[in-house]
Structure 1
Amino acid sequence: MSYLVFSVFVCLLCAHLPTTKSEHSVPYKVGYIDQYVDHFNFARFGNQTFKERYLIQDKWWDKKNNGPIFFYTGNEGPIEAFWKASGLMFDLAPRFGALILFGEHRYYGKSLPFGPSKSFQRPYIGLLTMRQALADFAYLINSIKKQHGAEKSPVIAFGGSYGGMLAAYFRMKHPSVCDGSIAASAPIYLLNPKFDHSFFFTDVTKDFSESVSGCVPRIKRAFTKMDQLMTEGKKGLAMLTKYFQLCQPLTGKAAYTHLLGWIRNAFTNTAMFDYPYATNFLPVGNPVKFSCDHVLSAADDISGLAAASGIYYNATFGPLKCFDISKEYVSCADPTGCGIGPNAWAWDYQACTDILLPPGSNNVTDMFPILPFNDTLRNEYCMKTWGTKPNPDWAYWGQDLRTTSNIVFSNGDLDPWHRGGVLKDVSKSVRAFMVIGGAHHLDLRGHNSKDPVSVIKVRGQEAKMIEEWVMKAKKSRQSIST
């Protein structure tokens, strides 16, 4: 899941827009805080702590006037990666006089409660939960406030994707700490076991179908021809190895299935990050169209599929002479992708506990091969891997949004996650904004000259909501102090 919409609102941002770079270079200071290993059971670990990492920048902070704290709720990866992809916070900080703070999620990056090995072993991995992470964030913010004399500063949370879910839940669970949240591309309804989770690969397919005519049929034909080659045994496997320029030859059904997952993962990420400009992880703007152009211009169907898949991995891992699919893609409890390395282990565990994720592909409602991963298969995998399984009985929380306030849920209609999110206003203070022509949390990224008008409008609406929340919080704190 692993990662990040002209009206009256345009002028709210225009005074502080940076250059057209979308991956900003704002420096940060790295800090560590002694964070409790377990916030809810002191009998087991007592007061044992670990070092939680955070990033901070105070160059715009108006401390004298209790400027707000803009807090990023770190998600499934090293925190510096989200710093680079969350330019909206830096675009807005000068206007609001904000202190910027990014908190790293426990069990990701360098915030490992029991070290790089033990943290991912049972039973220690059991302390990786959303509730623990939210408690970490609350403790971090309160500690930073004390250190910097910022007790009266309002706190606005920002997050994208899983981080967007956390930003929303942070406001719900810790309203005394968080005064409002921008929850970008946050599919919070996935935690409802009764919600239809089957939309994801259908919407990935829709992105490619609507981008270039004829793209999806050719992709489907390529998968069919790959299956036909598989029936030829070693000869077919050798041909597939050559088509996809694999470092290690395919040796059988398991390796072939992993290749199919590797291909699907490339198309999934291309759809999620279909931004109108190049990024540090995709080399071109409008990568869905770029991939389809390769699919359609290739000499044959499988060559086109291979070329389109290689675009993503060449950009992610740098120019490759061959593709090592065992290192570039990890099969896990999340069919949409877990990433690689220790971060993948952590997300795999969360996909087996407190996150309910989409099923696999079916080749009927989507363009991908039949790679099933239903609740039964997921439970079997999770029990075998972690000794647990997703528990919707306690994961289903925070769904009645009428009980909360001060949250913006933003989504892009190109984002294959958007149907799992909040698409309609719930109240005057729980709003839903749609970025037409926007991919995964495009609004959270920094200003770019190629941004669609819709994302400029949504960012302006978000700025207006933040202004209301900050003014209300300051007024409330002032009345209490007097």
Structure 2
Amino acid sequence: VDHFNFNSLGNATFNQRYLITDRFWKKSFGPIFFYTGNEGDIWEFALNSGFILELAAQQEALVIFAEHRYYGRSLPFGNQSFSIPEVGLLTVEQALADYALMITELKLQLAAAQSPVIVFGGSYGGMLSVYMRLKYPNIVAGALAASAPILSTAGFGDPRQFFRDVTAVSLGEQIRLKRPLGVGCHDDRSRRFFLQACTEIEMCYESNNVTDMFPPMTFTQEARQLYCSKRWGVQPRPGWLRIQFWGDDLSTASNIIFSNGDLDPWANGGVRNSLSPSLIAINISDGAHHLDLRGSNAADPESVVKARKMEAELIAAWVKMERVRFRQSH
């Protein structure tokens, strides 16, 4: 339940759900493709990430979709999980440690010591995939981070970027809006995600420029502090992602694909330019939010078909490199 404070809950555990298929796996040799679940029931992401299964069929991989703590059925304290202070263990760090432990234990159970692990994720899940590669490179050989706004959530760039890009895309498509749009944050899932945003992720929902189609949303730093204090009893740590997860100083990392679609308003909050030969940015001209993770479709634009092909080639190369490294170290 708590990977870091041994005096709070000792060795208390909880049941964490994961989905697994060995349908394509070349046992004890093929890679492991691990989806870093994000803010929702894990089935939602598994049913909308068909590319991972297609890639597993090509590369003879085991596939695991892991559910994020505090979502779906993975509730550390059952019905009390969203009470204070129990909900305080909903953090990025705890979730990453969950995944690191799950991968390690499953590799032991499945006699898969030689199987390289590649992590996948979209949106917030894509951020988690980046962080897994940064934090646990001893466990994870590479990451495909689709539509992961790791820069904007760390406080880099224009906080109104998302709204301006939505406006640009909508006007570009000549969509006539009959009433202003808003950001839906009233469901329970969103409230849970906002707890993480209070302490670890910059909430950039502020738009008051006359060129935006959105009404004024004065979610200033002061308003944010008030919300976080009143709702969750915590104070924001706006610079934490820059410290804990490298911010925009990623040049010494390796084996990460940052994919973004030009039609995705989150795209410009992510990495749009390659940073090194192994930190690859793939920009999908006709792509929407993590379109490349979805299963192949006859209506797919050529840009996403090419992106998936490139991703498959890079991942195959990482798997090969990791096998060489494993043999040399053993």
Shift, 1:194, TM fit? 4.5
Count of matched residue pairs: 327
Corresponding residue of 1:163: 125
Shift, 1:192, TM fit? 2.9
Corresponding residue of 2:66: 103
3-state SS of paired residue (2:16): strand
Q: With a CA cutoff of 8 Å and minimum separation of 6, indicate the structure with the bigger relative contact order.
A: 1
Distance of aligned partners of 1:363 and 1:197 in 2 relative to their CA distance in 1, 3 Å threshold: closer
Query: Aligned runs of 1:393-404 on 2, under 5 Å?
Result: 393-396=239-242, 397-399=245-247, 400-404=249-253
Shift, 1:389, TM fit? 2.9
Structure 2: segments with no counterpart, 5+ residues: none
Distance in 1 of aligned mates of 2:322 and 2:123: 26
Structure 1: segments with no counterpart, 5+ residues: 1-36, 224-259, 266-328, 332-339
Higher helix share: 1
1:71·1:100 contact (CA, 8 Å) conserved in 2? yes
3-state SS of paired residue (1:156): strand
Residue number among 276, 298, 312 corresponding to 1:449 in the alignment: 298
1:398 maps to a residue whose letter is: W
Shift, 1:46, TM fit? 0.5
Distance in 1 of aligned mates of 2:306 and 2:208: 37
2:262 maps to a residue whose letter is: D
- Which digits, 9 at most, give the CA deviation of each residue in 1:421-447, with x for residues without a partner? 000010000000000011100011110
Corresponding residue of 1:360: 206
Kindly name which structure, 1 or 2, has the bigger radius of gyration based on alpha carbons. Answer: 1
1:143 maps to a residue whose letter is: E
3-state SS of paired residue (2:218): coil
- Which digits, 9 at most, give the CA deviation of each residue in 1:112-159, with x for residues without a partner? 11112x211111111111111000000000111011100110000000
Q: With structure 2 as the length reference, what TM-score do the two structures score?
A: 0.95
Distance in 2 of aligned mates of 1:177 and 1:74: 17
Matched, 1:477 2:323: no
Distance in 2 of aligned mates of 1:200 and 1:365: 13
1:361·1:370 contact (CA, 8 Å) conserved in 2? yes
3-state SS of paired residue (1:456): helix
Residue number among 143, 146, 153 corresponding to 2:105 in the alignment: 143
1:359·1:375 contact (CA, 8 Å) conserved in 2? no
Corresponding residue of 2:39: 76
Query: Aligned runs of 1:226-375 on 2, under 5 Å?
Result: 263-265=181-183, 329-331=184-186, 340-341=187-188, 343-362=189-208, 364-375=210-221
Residue number among 98, 104, 123 corresponding to 2:85 in the alignment: 123
3-state SS of paired residue (1:264): coil
Distance of aligned partners of 1:434 and 1:68 in 2 relative to their CA distance in 1, 3 Å threshold: same
2:34·2:118 contact (CA, 8 Å) conserved in 1? yes
Distance in 2 of aligned mates of 1:141 and 1:104: 13
Could you tell me the percent identity over the aligned residues?
49
Corresponding residue of 1:208: 170
3-state SS of paired residue (2:78): coil
1:185·1:418 contact (CA, 8 Å) conserved in 2? yes
Corresponding residue of 2:264: 415
Aligned CA RMSD, in angstroms, stands at: 1.4
3-state SS of paired residue (2:295): coil
Shift, 1:50, TM fit? 0.5
Stretches of 4+ aligned residues off by more than 4 angstroms: none
